[in-house]
Amino acid sequence: MNHSSSNKKPKKTLSWSNTRITLLEYCERKYFLNYYTFALKQKYPDLWSEALVLKWLKSIEMRVGEKSHFLLSDYLHALKKWEITEEKIEELKNNMRIEMKADFDYSRERDYSDREDFFGKFWLSEHFYQEDADSLLQPAIDKVCGNLDRFIASPRNEKVQDYFSWAKFVYVEHPRTPDFESMKVDVSRIWLRDVSVMAWPDFGVTFSDTDFLILDRKSGKEEVLDNSVSDQLKVYALKMLLKKWLTSLNWIKIEAYEVYLDSMNSYGWILKQEDIDWIIEKIKHDVEEQKQLLVDQDPYKNQPVDLMMFRKTTSDKKCEHCTFRDVCKKLD
């Protein structure tokens, strides 16, 4: 049976994304706990419900990254509508301060015994693991607002305003309400079956039918890529090509950069054909690796092999702040 011939693939089909592969390379057990939590249900019902909770945890650092994305996106959407004034910027930052404070209080005051009410809610891993996190809140808020200030003070801000005034189309993502359908990459053209590939950039500009720019904001540690383009950006570029039913750049120009909010340094370049060829092969290779951890290596069924086949990292450093560390220990 050709499963890929159906119009709508079921949710359980194996998926590939840069984030997912990064997690697999980080620790196979963490990958299992995050993407195959359901497989614990029968054998370890208590650990299953705890692991579901842990899936939603974020560290305060992760929260800073997420909220920086939200705030930048709020700003860019207002800029796109030409609504930006000094007062508007202050209003956006104030709303974010209120939002982060409310989230923090909510997370701190939760009664973790009410498991029914757990799923899909916001929690800080610091609170779950009963660490004293109060002193972390204000610096986190300052960091998020500082990221917006740095962006506004940078030449990138002027460039963006410029794009809004004359480019054919400017895309600004809505990170608060992700549209998972539009994140999908149509990979039938590169002969991948029964696999969903997900990717969507933060910001994209269409200058003409053959000239594009992609920007991805980063709030984490700066990775200097030597003027080459990261895998994440290559996937975005591939997605743009596949939308045009192409896998070759030919006359198409795609420029792509990662912009680090801490320093406003950007890394990237104009994509070359070898970048596109490389990422196609990488996705295919990664999917083969992912399939090794599935029953019958079947991406359509997407059932994991036994938990013990998922290797734990040997790095204590990685485990130290892992949100799953509580469940992981109990599974041993």
List residues binding ligand SF4 (CB under 6 A).
27, 29-30, 33, 312-313, 318-319, 322, 324-325, 328
Least CB distance from residue 325 to ligand SF4, whole Å?
4
The two three-digit tokens of residue 254, written as one number: 């795609």
Distance (Å, rounded) from C-alpha 127 to C-alpha 239? 39
Least CB distance from residue 58 to ligand SF4, whole Å?
15
- Closest of 211, 233, 230 to residue 222, by C-alpha: 230
Nearer to ligand SF4, 126 or 255 (CB): 126
Nearer to ligand SF4, 150 or 325 (CB): 325
* Residue 265, helix vs strand vs coil: coil
Nearer to ligand SF4, 291 or 325 (CB): 325
Residue 9 Rama label (left phi>0; alpha psi -120 to 50; beta): beta
Least CB distance from residue 55 to ligand SF4, whole Å?
12
CB atoms closer than 10 angstroms to residue 124: 24
Distance (Å, rounded) from C-alpha 179 to C-alpha 89? 26
Q: Give kind and range of the element (H or E) at residue 44.
A: none
Residue with tokens 């950006």: 233
Distance (Å, rounded) from C-alpha 327 to C-alpha 36? 14
Least CB distance from residue 41 to ligand SF4, whole Å?
18
Least CB distance from residue 254 to ligand SF4, whole Å?
35
Least CB distance from residue 33 to ligand SF4, whole Å?
6
Nearer to ligand SF4, 16 or 324 (CB): 324
Are the C-beta atoms of residues 68 and 144 closer than 8 Å to each other?
yes
Nearer to ligand SF4, 13 or 313 (CB): 313
Least CB distance from residue 123 to ligand SF4, whole Å?
17
Are the C-beta atoms of residues 142 and 100 closer than 8 Å to each other?
no
- Closest of 63, 67, 70, 222 to residue 136, by C-alpha: 63
CB atoms closer than 10 angstroms to residue 332: 6
Nearer to ligand SF4, 26 or 269 (CB): 26
Least CB distance from residue 24 to ligand SF4, whole Å?
11
CB atoms closer than 10 angstroms to residue 163: 19
Distance (Å, rounded) from C-alpha 332 to C-alpha 75? 47
Strands 123-124 and 169-172: unpaired
Are the C-beta atoms of residues 207 and 213 closer than 8 Å to each other?
yes
Nearer to ligand SF4, 33 or 249 (CB): 33
Are the C-beta atoms of residues 276 and 248 closer than 8 Å to each other?
yes
Least CB distance from residue 328 to ligand SF4, whole Å?
3
Nearer to ligand SF4, 294 or 319 (CB): 319
Are the C-beta atoms of residues 137 and 100 closer than 8 Å to each other?
yes
Nearer to ligand SF4, 197 or 328 (CB): 328
